[in-house]
Amino acid sequence: MQSKSPKRPSVSLVKTICLASLFVCCIASQSRAEQLADSIRSRPELGRARQTLIAEQLRKITGWGRLDFDGDGILRPGGAAPSGGSPAARTLLASAMGGKTMLVFEDASGREDVVFCSVAEARWKTPAPDDPRVYLIRVDFADFSHLTGDKAALEAFNVGWGVLHEIEHVVNDSDDPRGKHDLGACETLMNQMRRECGLAERAEYFYSYFPGADEGEVMTKLVRLAFDKLEAGKRRRHWVVWDANLVGGVGGNVTVASSR
């Protein structure tokens, strides 16, 4: 895949961000050691509708039919036996939920420096010796709403896949590619999950322009990302398409790139 400015989002490049009042409302009575038992959560400002969207898509991917956020914004698998879905995705989420690092979803809709999703290490406002490491997973829901294209590709590129990609960066320190023609370790694992779900696989990491879309004074800069799926023994290509002027990631000051 091609990009004017290929980015390599990785944990090693993250910025440190002050968490300010992140947990004031929901877990003030918990010690930080206790918080380690609840490793994936959302900021209260994310809201129930967006929690539901994340949970719905993660349920499809993992096969955990009762996975959801609880009233405190903590993501829980729900205890039900999986039905379908990706074993690799369940392994990753279970590892994140039981790990020693805290992951926090944040609504980053409309932010110019977030293209679909990004991850950044955060710090506690008042540090303590036993503090867990904390990573903010920012989700630009508005970016995902601008997606169009083939149904098979859209099923393989949504908020659920975006947050799993970022979780994989943190849990396994997987990297994104440096070269145009590489997929990277992180998306290679995402493709294993897509195969296990019977979905199309991402064929490239960096998006490409539609022919002519990066020339002249056009009002839109349509870009596309390729996904492949075996159908009746033949590989068929499907596309996710968006206007990079709306989503971002074209030149400028984007620090973390397309879902990535």
Give the binding site for Zn ion (CB under 5 A): 9, 176, 260
Find the shortest distance in angstroms from Cβ 118 to Zn ion. Answer: 8
The Cα 151–Cα 155 span in angstroms is 6
Q: Which is nearer to Zn ion, 38 or 176 (CB)?
A: 176
Q: DSSP states of 116-170 as a string? A: SEEEEEEE-SS--TTPPEEEEEEE-HHHHHT-EE-HHHHTTSSHHHHHHHHHHHH
Find the shortest distance in angstroms from Cβ 257 to Zn ion. Answer: 8
> In a 10 Å sphere around its CB, with 0-12 CB exposed, 13-18 middle and 19+ buried, how is residue 44 labelled?
middle
The Cα 136–Cα 117 span in angstroms is 10
Of the candidates 120, 162, 129, 123, the one whose C-alpha atom is nearest the C-alpha of residue 143 is 162
Structure tokens at 30: 């918990």
The Cα 90–Cα 193 span in angstroms is 9
Find the shortest distance in angstroms from Cβ 57 to Zn ion. Answer: 18
Q: Which is nearer to Zn ion, 68 or 106 (CB)?
A: 106
Residue 74: DSSP 8-state: B
Q: Which is nearer to Zn ion, 74 or 136 (CB)?
A: 136
Cβ–Cβ < 8 Å for 174, 168: yes
Q: Which is nearer to Zn ion, 26 or 240 (CB)?
A: 240
Find the shortest distance in angstroms from Cβ 254 to Zn ion. Answer: 13
Find the shortest distance in angstroms from Cβ 256 to Zn ion. Answer: 8
C-alpha dihedral, 215 to 255 to 174 to 179, nearest 10°: 30
Helix (H, G, I), strand (E, B) or coil at 206: coil
Q: Which is nearer to Zn ion, 140 or 176 (CB)?
A: 176
Q: Which is nearer to Zn ion, 1 or 74 (CB)?
A: 1
Find the shortest distance in angstroms from Cβ 174 to Zn ion. Answer: 8
117 DSSP β-pair partners: 139
Q: Which is nearer to Zn ion, 35 or 188 (CB)?
A: 188
Find the shortest distance in angstroms from Cβ 119 to Zn ion. Answer: 8
Find the shortest distance in angstroms from Cβ 221 to Zn ion. Answer: 22
Q: Which is nearer to Zn ion, 35 or 192 (CB)?
A: 192
Of the candidates 252, 200, 258, the one whose C-alpha atom is nearest the C-alpha of residue 224 is 258
Residues in the chain: 260
